[in-house]
Amino acid sequence: MNVYELNMDGLVGPSHHYAGLSVGNLASTSNAQSIANPKGAAHQGIHKMRLLHRMGIKQAVIPPHQRPNLHLLYQLGFKGRPIDQITQAFRTNPALLSACYSSSSMWTANAATVSPSMDTIDKRVHFTAANLISNLHRHQEADFSHALLRHLFNDERYFKHHPVLPKTIITSDEGAANHSRLCTNHADKGMHLFVYGKQALPIGNAYPVPQRFPARQTLEASEAIARNHQLPPQNVVYAAQNPAAIDEGVFHNDVISVANESLFLVHSNAFLHPSEVLDELRNKAQFPIQIIEVNGLEISVADAVKSYLFNSQLITLPDTDKKKMMLISPLECQQHGKIKRFIDELIADTANPITEVHYLDLKQSMQNGGGPACLRLRVPLTETELSAMHQGVLVNDALLDTLDAWVDKHYRSELHTNDLIDPYLINECFTALDELTTILGLNAIYPFQREKTTSS
């Protein structure tokens, strides 16, 4: 039976804006208060989905979360009608309103950690939605992501959904952005690499931590996911991030390494003890792993963060006699002389399977700190499992055309944080999401839809 790596891309929401809410994400903070283009951002993401779909890559779309999050405003003490809540929040602290309007759910690499049925003891696909407690604007995604994934993958014969990990600093979980799977091919059993920024227990341990920016993923969270997902310990490796790299802007591991099947492209400064991590991967794997370690003298961590080279999607090309891979890289890689030369040399080197690169304009996402790999959650599925999931989110040309038209109909081409107080924006967002659920064949998944049904 065929196994496909389904790339589930987050659809950019209509309230996409630049508020600089993500500490440690240099692109996010440096572009704070810039004018965003929600319409352009959504079209850029749809264009990426269209490119991969036409190459024969299995694609699905994840709808945006409800924004503004009126319940979060209520939790923060802003009561009354929605417009009253919005006005109070803006006058009290505009950053709180920005958090409630955040479209960060577009970066679905943070939505969850997924383990395929080939690797789990009970032979089901396991999901754990990330709690994302490190940031106010992201922690609000956890419960809805959990419910949405349960809705999309609802057949208990094939899918197992675990509760979100406890929302504490001890079990801080940032999802698949800190998880990689290595295998001979997607249909074979794989090795799982969990990368963490800190060990939280015991309190006061001597583990080195970054000094400038927070470490987000904990070892305790990664270990809990591996246990819950029934991953055999001999197929799991835990690796500590280099705290110096975190302080240079490597807030997630997918900013400094990327894996696909048996190929691992990684920066030499990614891990605290790089040689030990790579040796453990080689020793535990029951298959050959090709590791391309990029030296810090060749490409600095700063250049990697600026270009998002390692946040490229690394994808196996379908229907080829010999395994070939391609990079889906942000345009910033092409515009960076040193990075462009590195990619050219990588493609020219026949000793590795990477044979081509596609540079995409994802500027709207990049300016908020998310590249191609941030925008997708990888879900390996058998043909049976693929058929058992909700079919309405699976990409085809007709759906992409409909989504492009939907964006043109509902999205603004300019949005600034000061525009969030506009009372019309609430209705614009809710009207768009209401129509989207019909397009994707979903039920009333959003709180405002359920409240409307109850009140009527």
Instruction: Give the residue numbers marked as catalytic.
Output: 174, 252, 374
Question: Cα–Cα–Cα angle for 123, 199, 146, nearest 5°?
Answer: 40
Q: Please tell me whether the peptide bond between 208 and the residue prior to it is cis, using omega within 30 degrees of 0.
A: no
Secondary structure (3-state) at 7: strand
Work out the angle between the directed axes of helices 82-92 and 423-439 (0-180°, nearest 10).
120
CA 140 to chain CA centroid, Å, is: 15
Single-letter residue type at 114: V
> In Å, how far are 66, 333, 344, 389 from 43, measured between CA atoms?
19, 20, 28, 25
255-266 core/surface letters (b: 16 or more CB in 10 A; e: else): bbbbbbbbbbbb
Closest alpha carbon to 314 in 306, 305, 322, 324: 324
Q: What are phi and psi of 186, to 5 degrees?
A: -60, -20
Secondary structure (3-state) at 293: strand
Identify whether the C-beta of residue 375 lies closer than 8 Å to the C-beta of residue 7. Answer: no
Closest alpha carbon to 102 in 51, 64, 131, 53: 64
> What gap in Å lies between CA 180 and CA 253, rounded to an integer?
9
Q: How many alpha carbons fall within 13 Å on the CB side of residue 216?
A: 30
Q: Measure the CA dihedral 203/206/207/212, to 10°.
A: 90
Length of the chain equals 456
Secondary structure (3-state) at 442: coil
Q: Please, which residues have CB within 8 angstroms of residue 317's CB and are 6 or more apart in sequence?
A: 55, 56, 324, 325, 326, 355, 356
Closest alpha carbon to 312 in 362, 240, 274: 362
